[in-house]
Amino acid sequence: MSNAPFAVIMAGGSGTRFWPVSRSATPKQLVRIVGDATMIQATVARLQPLIPPERVLIVTTAALAAETRRQLPMLKPEHVIAEPVGRDTAACVALAALVVQRLSPGATMIMLPADAVITPADAFQRALAVGADEAAKGGIVTFGIPPRFAATGYGYIQVAGQLRSESGGEITVSRVERFVEKPDAKRAAEYVAAGCYRWNAGIFAWRADVVLAELERHCQWLTDALAPVGVAWGTPRFAQVLDDVYQPLQRISIDYALIEKAKDIRVVTGGFAWDDVGSWDALYDHLPRDPQGVAARGEVVALECRDSLLVAESGQTVTAVGLTGITVVATRDAVLVLPKGKGQMVKNVVDKLKESGRSGLI
């Protein structure tokens, strides 16, 4: 499928909100959170057959590259690209576009994160195909999710006029009026009620040459700095050149570097469900529950418990009696206990462990 788009999966995150299962050496995208596959394996799988493995690239960190290659043996080893240091998403996009441009000049590429849950895969692929076709014409395309509730943890996209629909109305292509930052609860409720806002899933489609030209227009210092990387791709010098140019880069997101400045962006809304599963609280919604509302994974014995999440990993057994609204996660060397609804606080736990010098636990 030489005419298929490329997919570039951004997989450098730390996933601290899924501690103690997610660790620095095996963060969220490299562990099993939902289902039997790791999140990055599921991400690659749901792209096929639209995007075959030979056209999939991963951008990750140097520390995670070896494990990423091990989990994805169907990918070309050189297609797992290791950033020497994290420099946010604009650098990641520019790096990936330079590589795709060398592999296939002017090819369409889809950028997506490694750690979302998206179902069903066929509906997702249909939406991606529409977005890729739109991007092939030279536009910048993002993908929006109809909000299911007034989320304060996501950015939003305000949709203007609908341009067309596909698949019997399942997929729509519209103009983007504006991107808005994560709102407070009142404003999020207003966005949902308005009906013309979408969650920003952080998924984009564009041609490699187009996004490089747009970045050169709006963020030239970045494309100038990374230009040697494209020249070095496919040579023994690539890793050293990448290290040399990446270290001095300032951090900037693709939203600030380009998306908020570009004109005439299109948004594709498809018939798939999306969840970034950002915490243990979110996982609760993806696991089967017993009549008392207990979601369990692993070796779990629960007596007189209600509305709780109980997770046993690494051969551990969790036994619980009389819990209501509690999350318990047990691994080989750590146990997490917190009320449901406090999942975002796990990041603070990890920060506290760092401060106390317990680096072996993170």
pLDDT digits (tens, 9 = 90+) for 31-63: 999 988 999 999 999 999 999 999 999 999 999
Chain centroid to Cα 165, Å, comes to: 26
CB count in 10 Å sphere of residue 141: 25
Distance between CA atoms of 93 and 116, rounded to whole angstroms? 18
Q: Answer whether 60's CB lies under 8 Å from 136's CB.
A: no
Instruction: Please check whether residue 158 is in contact with residue 178, taking contact to mean a CB–CB distance below 8 angstroms.
Output: yes
Tell me if residue 137 falls in helix, strand or coil. Answer: coil
Closest CA to 165 of 80, 267, 27, 237: 267
DSSP 129: H
CB-based contacts of 160, cutoff 8 Å, min separation 6: 174, 175, 176, 177, 196
SS3 180: strand
- Domain 6-275 sits in CATH 3.90.550.10: yes
Q: How far apart are the first and last CA of the chain?
A: 41
What are the extents of the domains in the chain? Answer: 6-275, 280-361
Q: What is the pLDDT of residue 332?
A: 95
Average pLDDT across each block of 10 residues of the chain; the chain has 362 residues. List them in order. 86 90 94 93 97 97 96 97 95 98 97 96 97 96 95 93 91 95 94 96 97 96 96 96 96 93 94 93 94 97 98 96 98 96 93 92 93
Q: Are 162 and 234 in contact (CB under 8 A)?
A: no
- What predicted TM-score, i.e. pTM, was given to this entire model? 0.94
Q: Which of 126, 109, 211 is nearest to 172 (CA)?
A: 126
pLDDT at res. 2: 57
pLDDT score at 306: 98
Position 156 scores a pLDDT of 96
DSSP-derived 3-state class of residue 244? helix
